[in-house]
Amino acid sequence: MAKLIVADDHPLFRNALIHAISNTFVTKATIETDSFEATCTALEQHPDADLLLLDLHMPGNCGFLGLIQLRKQYPTLPIVVISASEDTDVIRRVMSFGASAFIPKSAHPAEIGKALSAVMEGELWVQPALRDQVLDQHNQTDLDLAAKVADLTPQQYKVLFYLTEGWLNKQIAYDLHISEATVKAHITAIFRKLGVTNRTQVVIQAQRLQLEPPADKLLNAQF
């Protein structure tokens, strides 16, 4: 039996997912969260969690950034991404960024059970029809980017997001309650770690992470 954390901001889908899981997969406990910040708190409160089901577009997740952060913070925790998107490129990136499985929200309950069982046995899982396209074609660029982003500090994560939103240094400093000199130091570190030399290149890199607002919960999360 496994302890699961189900992270999705839609109560109806979350309930339907938990119901599907209970009918096809034996659990000892299921913890529900509805934001990225709440998910981080749940992981801190339940270090013995066996599996995280993560909605790719829940509040605060900001595209792939949340997945990369959690993969860094909890390297041994299997993370199953749940998403309404069934785009092959999105699935491939999810797997490249460290997910153990990708389950579309349209999946049949029995398929969800198979996916979770496979992950608990240490396997990677995507729908069989997509396996060759996704698992055997990891993009080295995505892998390199994930490694670089994972090396950022929590404060640098925040500054990175603000940079992609086009914020000025003084705006970032005001919102984070730090000096402009500190913001510049963070930006310099971000440039170095991502291997870029200007803000335009940072934005181009960050576009691959599909960062998306709102980010308040992500930016307030503690890592």
What is the 3-state secondary structure of 14-40?
A: HHHHHHHHHHHCCEEEEEEECCHHHHH
Under DSSP, the state recorded for 4 is E
The rounded distance, in Å, linking the Cα atoms of 187 and 190 is 5
Same domain, yes or no: 119 and 209: no
The CATH number of whichever domain residue 205 belongs to comes to 1.10.10.10
Structure tokens at 189: 């570190």
Question: Which residue, among 11, 62, 12, has the nearest Cα to 40 in the 3D structure?
Answer: 62
Same domain, yes or no: 108 and 191: no
Under 8 Å between Cβ of 57 and 90: no
**Partners of residue 82 on adjacent β-strands:** 55, 103
The domain boundary, picked from 83, 105, 134, lies at 134
pLDDT, residue 52, reads 96
pLDDT, residue 21, reads 85
Same domain, yes or no: 124 and 38: yes
The rounded distance, in Å, linking the Cα atoms of 70 and 5 is 13
The rounded distance, in Å, linking the Cα atoms of 130 and 196 is 33
Same domain, yes or no: 60 and 113: yes
The rounded distance, in Å, linking the Cα atoms of 107 and 109 is 6
Q: How many C-beta atoms surround the C-beta of residue 95 within 10 A?
A: 22
The rounded distance, in Å, linking the Cα atoms of 55 and 52 is 10
pLDDT values of the chain reduced to their tens digit, one per residue, 223 residues: 789 999 999 998 899 889 888 877 778 889 999 998 899 999 999 999 999 999 988 887 777 888 888 988 899 999 999 988 888 888 988 888 889 999 998 888 889 989 999 999 999 999 888 887 777 655 677 778 878 887 888 788 889 888 888 899 999 999 999 999 999 999 999 999 999 999 988 888 877 776 554 344 344 444 3
Structurally, how many domains does the chain consist of? 2
> Cis peptide leading into 214, omega within 30 of 0?
yes
Same domain, yes or no: 117 and 202: no
The rounded distance, in Å, linking the Cα atoms of 86 and 102 is 9
Q: Tokens 């509805």 appear where? A: 34
Which domain, by its residues, includes 202?
A: 140-220
Same domain, yes or no: 164 and 179: yes
**Partners of residue 104 on adjacent β-strands:** 83
Same domain, yes or no: 102 and 152: no
Q: How many C-beta atoms surround the C-beta of residue 85 within 10 A?
A: 16
Same domain, yes or no: 85 and 108: yes
pTM: 0.76
Q: Considering Cα of 177, then 180, then 182, then 183, what sign does the dihedral take?
A: positive
Under 8 Å between Cβ of 52 and 70: yes
pLDDT, residue 57, reads 84
pLDDT, residue 79, reads 96
